[in-house]
């Protein structure tokens, strides 16, 4: 993904940042970058198409980060990839080939019983599908999270939105793991955001204006920066042998003209440079500048930036490499998550049914619990079977760690209130008893004993409840630790 070694090359311009810096603002999210990271935790289940609910862990991962942004009063705008642009076909085919090979190796390791090696290979084999994205979209809809499915590249859609004003639905920054956003000219990009909101930011304005930075981009404009990225090799065009990011930067810095750079390369590389490289280079640069995106206001397909006047003629009017035309009604349905962006067809609703087999998952949980805590033996020496009841999981993942903290505090408050209520009832019982007519010393002693018994029962009851609560929490923690290891 992205331009090889670009982030390492531009490290002097990368600065640490916390997401709270964007409080009160809209921030774009490259959905597939988080989906890929989330899928690592359930890659085996996804690759094996398991019926286990663990297969949906990628949604939990994603929603944790969405909730983190909302906690810091940031409005998340999630952007999904759509179909592939034609010039990316070779790259996608190569990625699919590697995934298939890794899956075959993973299956072999699994048959050998080497689960650790198989899990690592499954992580390399996992593929994020439009159906997985669609399942996440259902959760985003239920949580009223803004999203859009791009007609083609999410990077192009995000870069376009980053140049819009806030009043037109723009975003102040983009969170991603893909360095392509630099080539697209996105003004502010946050990479490697962790679960606490810490990340690394690059701002292009600072890159172009830095006086003493090395490597220097003082003589660059956005077109030259994009050209440098394409020369170094990108998803749309592999680099000429021997040309990496350092050499590409040196050539563009020296000649400051992309046509001249191509001429020099032709002289230097000779037969190593493909005959059609210049044409492919021009198209790749054009994709980064003029790719087709979805205009959420006009609800139609358009170019990131308007095409130059003579641009279509220079390419014989063949512009499908920027993304083929799509009718407005279809591109809108794709953008709203109602059509598969690859097939342009509706999703199969039967595949979206959430797992809800209570008995099945109760039995699984019981089996896991037995591994951790031996079941009590019955009178005949056999294990007593405990029936565990589970509610159907909610469609919305309630996993905001900050909300959970509040719930725990609320629970503690409830326990304290209960203590006070029981204590209050005991005091009332005391006063009722003491107000009775005293007939003899024996009756007084009898009533005093009653008071002591009531107080003892109340305190015993509360201690029992607290003990059971702590025991339940310990069991839950043990189960959670087991799940995390699995």
Q: How do residues 410-440 score in pLDDT, each as one tens digit?
A: 444 444 434 443 343 334 333 333 333 333 4
pLDDT of res. 355? 41
Report angle CA 161, 165, 170 to the nearest 5 degrees: 30
Q: Which of 185-194, 284-293, 379-388 has the lowest mean pLDDT?
A: 379-388
Torsion of CA 276, 305, 128, 399, to 10 degrees: 160
Q: Is the pLDDT of residue 6 over 90?
A: yes
b/e string for 391-402 if b means 16 or more Cβ within 10 A? eeeeeebeebee
Q: Give the rounded percent of residues in the chain with a pLDDT score beyond 70.
A: 70
Residue 152 in contact with residue 323, Cβ under 8 Å? yes
Strands (E), 338-406: none
pLDDT digits (tens, 9 = 90+) for 312-331: 666 666 888 999 999 999 99
Residue 473's pLDDT is what?
A: 53
Mean pLDDT estimate for the chain: 80
CATH classification (class only), 6-346: alpha beta
What are 330's two structure tokens? 């279809």
Inform me whether the pLDDT recorded for 384 exceeds 70.
no
Pairing of strands 75-80, 300-303: unpaired
Q: Provide the CB-side half-sphere exposure for 297 (13 A, CA).
A: 9
Q: Say if CB 245 and CB 256 are below 8 A apart.
A: no
Average pLDDT over residues 62-71: 96
pLDDT tens digits, residue range 337-365?
999 999 999 998 776 654 433 343 334 33
Q: How far apart are the first and last CA of the chain?
A: 29
Looking at residue 471, its pLDDT comes to 52
Q: pLDDT at position 463, please?
A: 53
The pair of structure tokens assigned to 379 is 């009178």
Is residue 393 scored above 50 in pLDDT?
no
Q: Is the pLDDT of residue 375 over 60?
A: no
Give the other-Cβ count within 10 Å of 40's Cβ.
Answer: 17
Average pLDDT over residues 281-296: 95
Contact 39, 126 (CB under 8 A): yes
Q: Read off the pLDDT of each residue in 333-340 and give the average, rounded to a whole number.
A: 96
Statement: residue 445 has pLDDT above 90: no
pLDDT at 458 over 60: no
Phi first, then psi: what are they for 346, rounded to 5°? -70, 150
Separation between Cα atoms, residue 86 and residue 286, nearest integer Å: 13
- Domain segments of the chain: what residues? 6-346, 354-399, 401-486
Q: List b or e across 420-433, with b for residues whose CB sees 16 or more CB atoms inside 10 angstroms.
A: eebeeebeeebeee
Per-residue three-class SS string for the chain: CCCCCHHHHCHHHCEEEEHHHHCCCEEEEEHHHHHHHHHHHHHHHHHCCCCCHHHHHHHHHHHHHHHHHHHCCCEEEEEECCCCCHHHHHHHHHHHHHHHHHHHHHHHHHHHCCHHHHHHHHHHHCCCCHHHHHHHHHHHHHCCCEEEECCCCHHHHHHHHHCCCHHHCCCCEEEECCCHHHHCCCCEEEECCCCCCEEEEEEHHHHHHCCCCCCCCCCCCHHHHHHHHHHHCECCECCCCCCCHHHHHHHHHHHCCHHHHHHHHHHHHHHHCCCCHHHHHHHHHHHHHHCEEEECCCCEEEECCCCCCCHHHHCCCCCHHHCCCCCHHHHHHHHCCCECCCCCCECCHHHHCCCCCHHHHHHHHHHHHHHHCCCCECCCCCECCCCCCCCCCCCCCCCCHHHHHHHHHHHHHHHHHHHHHHHHHHHHHHHHHHCCCCCCHHHHHHHHHHHHHHHHHHHHHHHHHHHHHHHHHHHHHHHHHHHHHC
Q: What is the DSSP letter of 13?
A: G
Average pLDDT over residues 474-482: 48
Residue with tokens 């991962």: 61
Least confident of 16-20, 171-175, 241-245, 269-273: 269-273
**Structure confidence by residue, pLDDT tens digits, 134-182:** 999 999 999 999 999 999 999 999 999 999 988 888 999 999 999 999 9
Residues 6 or more apart whose Cβ sits within 8 Å of residue 153: 81, 82, 85, 180, 287, 291, 323
Going by C-beta distance under 8 Å and a sequence separation of 6 or more, which residues neighbour residue 64? 195, 399, 400, 401
311 pLDDT tier (thresholds 50, 70, 90): confident
Residue 222: pLDDT over 60 = yes
What does the pLDDT read at residue 465?
Answer: 52
pLDDT at residue number 254: 95
Mean pLDDT of 288-303: 94
DSSP 129: -
Q: Across residues 383-388, what is the average pLDDT?
A: 38
What are the pLDDT digits (tens) for 7-50? Answer: 999 999 999 999 999 999 999 999 999 999 999 999 999 999 98
Mean pLDDT of 260-276: 92
Q: What is the pLDDT of residues 94-142, one digit of tens each?
A: 999 999 999 999 999 999 999 999 999 999 999 999 999 999 999 999 9
> For 379-388, what is the mean pLDDT?
42
Among 58-62, 426-430, 448-452, the range scoring the smallest mean pLDDT is 426-430
Please report which helix (H) or strand (E) contains residue 147, including its range.
strand 146-149
Band (405; pLDDT cuts 50, 70, 90): very low
**Structural tokens at position 15:** 């600065």
For residue 311, what are the contacts with CB-CB under 8 A and spacing of at least 6? 286, 290
Q: Which two tokens stand for residue 422?
A: 């029981």
Polymer length of the chain: 486
Of 239, 329, 244, 231, the closest CA to residue 285 belongs to 231
């Amino acid at each position: 993904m992205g331009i090889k070694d670009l982030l390492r090359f531009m490290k002097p311009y990368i600065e640490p940042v916390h997401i709270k810096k964007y409080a009160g603002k809209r921030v774009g999210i490259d959905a597939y970058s988080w989906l890929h990271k989330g899928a690592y935790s359930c890659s085996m289940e996804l690759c094996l198409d398991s019926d286990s609910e663990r297969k949906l862990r990628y949604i939990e991962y994603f929603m944790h980060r969405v909730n983190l942004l909302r906690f810091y009063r940031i409005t998340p705008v999630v952007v999904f990839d759509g179909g592939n642009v034609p010039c990316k076909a070779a790259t996608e085919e190569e990625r699919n080939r590697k995934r298939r090979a890794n899956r075959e190796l993973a299956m072999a390791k699994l048959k050998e019983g080497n689960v650790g090696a198989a899990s690592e290979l499954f992580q390399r084999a996992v593929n994020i599908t439009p159906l997985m994205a669609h399942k996440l979209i259902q959760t985003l809809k239920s949580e009223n999270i803004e999203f859009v499915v791009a007609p083609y590249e999410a990077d192009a859609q995000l870069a376009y939105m980053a140049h819009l004003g806030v009043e037109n639905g723009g975003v102040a920054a983009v969170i991603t793991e893909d360095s392509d956003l630099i080539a697209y000219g996105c003004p502010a990009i946050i990479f490697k955001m962790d679960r606490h909101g810490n990340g690394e930011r690059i701002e292009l304005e600072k890159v172009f204006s830095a006086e003493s930075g090395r490597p220097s981009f003082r003589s660059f404009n956005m077109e030259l920066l994009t050209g440098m990225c394409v020369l170094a090799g990108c998803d749309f065009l592999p680099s000429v042998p021997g040309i990496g990011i350092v050499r590409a930067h040196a050539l563009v810095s020296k000649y400051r003209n992309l046509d001249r750079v191509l001429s020099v390369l032709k002289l230097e590389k000779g037969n190593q440079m493909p005959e059609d490289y210049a044409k492919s280079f021009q198209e790749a640069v054009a994709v980064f500048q003029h790719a087709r995106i979805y205009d959420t206001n006009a609800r139609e397909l358009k170019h990131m930036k308007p095409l130059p006047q003579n641009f279509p003629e220079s390419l014989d009017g063949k512009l499908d490499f920027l993304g083929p035309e799509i009718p407005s009604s279809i591109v809108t349905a794709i953008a709203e998550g109602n059509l598969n962006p690859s097939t342009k067809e509706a999703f199969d609703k039967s595949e979206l049914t959430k797992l809800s087999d209570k008995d099945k998952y109760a039995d699984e949980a019981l089996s896991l619990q037995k591994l951790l805590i031996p079941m009590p033996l019955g009178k005949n020496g056999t294990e007593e079977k405990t029936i565990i009841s589970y509610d159907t999981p909610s469609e919305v993942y309630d996993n905001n760690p900050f909300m959970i903290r509040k719930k725990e505090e609320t629970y503690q408050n409830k326990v304290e209130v209960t203590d006070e209520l029981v204590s209050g009832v005991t005091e009332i019982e005391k006063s009722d008893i003491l107000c009775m007519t005293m007939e003899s010393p024996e009756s007084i002693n009898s009533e005093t004993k009653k008071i002591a018994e009531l107080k003892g029962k109340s305190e015993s009851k509360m201690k029992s409840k607290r003990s059971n609560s702590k025991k339940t929490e310990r069991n839950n923690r043990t189960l959670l630790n087991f799940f995390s290891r699995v």
